[in-house]
Chain A
Amino acid sequence: MRTVRGVLGAAGLALLGCGCWLLFAETRHGTVGPVLLWLAGSVAAHDFLLVPVVLLAGLALRRLPARTVWRGGLIVAGSLTVLAVPMMLWQGSPANPTVLPLDYRVNWLLTLAGTAAATLLVLLLRTAVRGVRAGRRHRNGRP
């Protein structure tokens, strides 16, 4: 375990060193400042925008029956939304008509509808399977 940790650590430091050198010495003049700003901004966007939304969603789910299924649907819908938002914002802007040629707002709604349908399907299947299991246990419980 010690050697594995040592090797990983050494390799990590080496690669990190390469990366820092590339960033500080091999980029255009005036790159480092904005990059540091954007690094901090990414964390801020995640911590102050995404985290509260997720925590609120978690609170809302707490009392629901079949909580895990709804949670699953939200995770899938949320992931599709994260992917879709930049496309929805940037569509129509590229000068090149083959970039972002679709209506991504409509497509995003379609994927949400698909996710909702799949979530309901899982709920139905879960209820059906549990019903069958409960029935079997009830019958087996009789002497």
Chain B
Amino acid sequence: MDGTGEHAENAGRQPGGGEGALVTFRAGLHDPRTATAVGRLLGAAMLLCFLTGLVSHVLQQPPGRLAGSLPVRPVWFYRLTQGVHVASGIAAIPLLLVKLWTVYPRLFVSPPIRGLRHGVERASIAVLVSATLLQLTMGLLNILQWYPWPFSFRQVHFALAWVLTGSLLLHLAVKSPLIAAHWRRRGPGTLRLPEDEAADRRALLWSVGAAVGAVTVVSAGQTVTPLRSLTVLAPRQVDHGPQALPVTKTAAEAKVSERALRGWQLQVAGPRPYALTLEQLRRLPQHHAELPIACVEGWSKMARWSGVRLRELLERAEVPEHASLRVVSLQLGGAYRVMEMEPQYARDPLTLLALDLNGEALDLDHGRPARIIAPGRPGVLQTKWVHRIEVL
């Protein structure tokens, strides 16, 4: 009827693996209705993950033309998008595993390839399944700072996101008639399925919902404040760390030692360049800002910062209003040793060269003697151990 030639699908259920199957599936629920009901939840999670992932990519590596339009408000912008990104990725794990279960019988189809078209279809499914499995695995391991693979996480995670989403859209294109027929509870396809399976299916969907709820509740507290006390399976406890704030890269990991800080001076370049010691910085007018640190690993926390307004430091050097900055850190190596900052961030009244955190001088792991803190930016761009501010 839908022209795909998959007669088993039109019958409404996979009656085992087909002729000469290795395994027969007597249990129901390996049908297109269950696959659609779970699949749409999975699809929603993956779409959310993809979109928030794109936002994260753009904020970390702004493409030339967009750089000037990145938002500075709300201050929790990246906190929201990255929190949703990690949470939707984690929620997708039970959804993916159950969705794959509903189509287990397809795994045992015999013969494995019936013709060119069948081969291409199976290949596209292989791409979709493998990309999704690897992408979610990489995402989960990344938030633990565990990198057992020999390639760059950021490059491959970004590439696979497009591969995954593309093959997902292809999959939806191929299955559209089937999905449409089984979308509604009283849809034409659904009504052809055995009635006694409806209760079983409802129970399964409730279970899937409970699983998604469970994994979310035990992990989302690393970014969602009210869930903080329930966070038993998250890689961060947001109250755990120096000055009650976690650290993404310690001073030791960044190879910044106390010795490197001796005789530290902040150097500001511009038409009237100057350098200031820490004591001189402290004598300048201090301002406070409540800004969150939101890490790409999905944890975030609001903190009280105090220091010198970046705008005032720039005015002193007579840096032009619309100039972009380059901020250089004392850390050795690393992708974010040098950070670029567009004028909307540099001139914002909330952007500080912070000297204090939560009432005390910055801890070494938090960027002592000075770090940049700006609204709406990813944690990696809140440069620590600031050494030099230059004009681009």
CA distance A82 to B136 in the complex (A): 11
Contact A15 B130 (CB under 8 A): no
Are A35 and B156 CB-contacts (below 8 A) given A13-B170, A14-B166, A75-B210? yes
Size bin of chain B's contact surface: 35 or more
Are A83 and B170 CB-contacts (below 8 A) given A42-B134, A72-B206? no
Task: Answer yes or no: B44 CB below 8 A from chain A CBs.
Answer: no
Chain B residues with CB below 8 A from A110, complex form: 232
Chain B residues with CB below 8 A from A50, complex form: 97
Q: Which of A4-28 contact B (CB under 8 A)?
A: 4-6, 8-9, 11-20, 22-23, 26-28
Chain B residues with CB below 8 A from A11, complex form: 166, 169
Chain A residues with CB below 8 A from B149, complex form: 34, 38
Least distance between B128 CB and chain A CB atoms (Å):
10
Least distance between A50 CB and chain B CB atoms (Å):
7
A84-115 vs B: 1/0 string, CB under 8 Å?
Answer: 10110010011110111110100110110001
Majority SS at the chain A contact face: helix
Chain B residues with CB below 8 A from A80, complex form: 211, 214-215, 218, 233
Chain A residues with CB below 8 A from B219, complex form: 83
Contact B215 A79 (CB under 8 A): yes
Task: Answer yes or no: A64 CB below 8 A from chain B CBs.
Answer: no
Task: Answer yes or no: B155 CB below 8 A from chain A CBs.
Answer: yes
Residue among A18, A34, A40 making CB contact with B150, cutoff 8 Å: A34
| Segment from B137-145, B335-343, B349-357, B380-388 that makes contact with A | B137-145
Number of interface residues of A (CB under 8 A): 69
Task: Answer yes or no: A43 CB below 8 A from chain B CBs.
Answer: yes
CA distance A58 to B127 in the complex (A): 27
Most buried by A among B104, B163, B212: B163
In the complex, residue of chain B having the shortest beta-carbon distance to the beta carbon of A32:
B151
Contact A28 B100 (CB under 8 A): no
In the complex, residue of chain B having the shortest beta-carbon distance to the beta carbon of A61:
B27
Least distance between A44 CB and chain B CB atoms (Å):
10
Interchain Cβ contacts under 8 Å between A and B, 11 examples: A8-B176, A11-B169, A12-B171, A19-B164, A19-B166, A38-B134, A39-B130, A72-B206, A79-B211, A79-B215, A107-B233
Chain A residues within CB distance 8 Å of chain B: 1, 4-6, 8-9, 11-20, 22-23, 26-28, 30-31, 34-35, 38-40, 42-43, 45-47, 50-51, 54-55, 58, 68-69, 71-72, 75-76, 78-80, 82-84, 86-87, 90, 93-96, 98-102, 104, 107-108, 110-111, 115, 118
Assuming A12-B171, A31-B152, what are 15 further A-B pairs, CB within 8 angstroms?
Answer: A6-B173, A15-B162, A19-B161, A20-B159, A27-B155, A30-B151, A35-B134, A40-B130, A46-B133, A71-B203, A72-B204, A79-B93, A79-B94, A95-B253, A99-B246
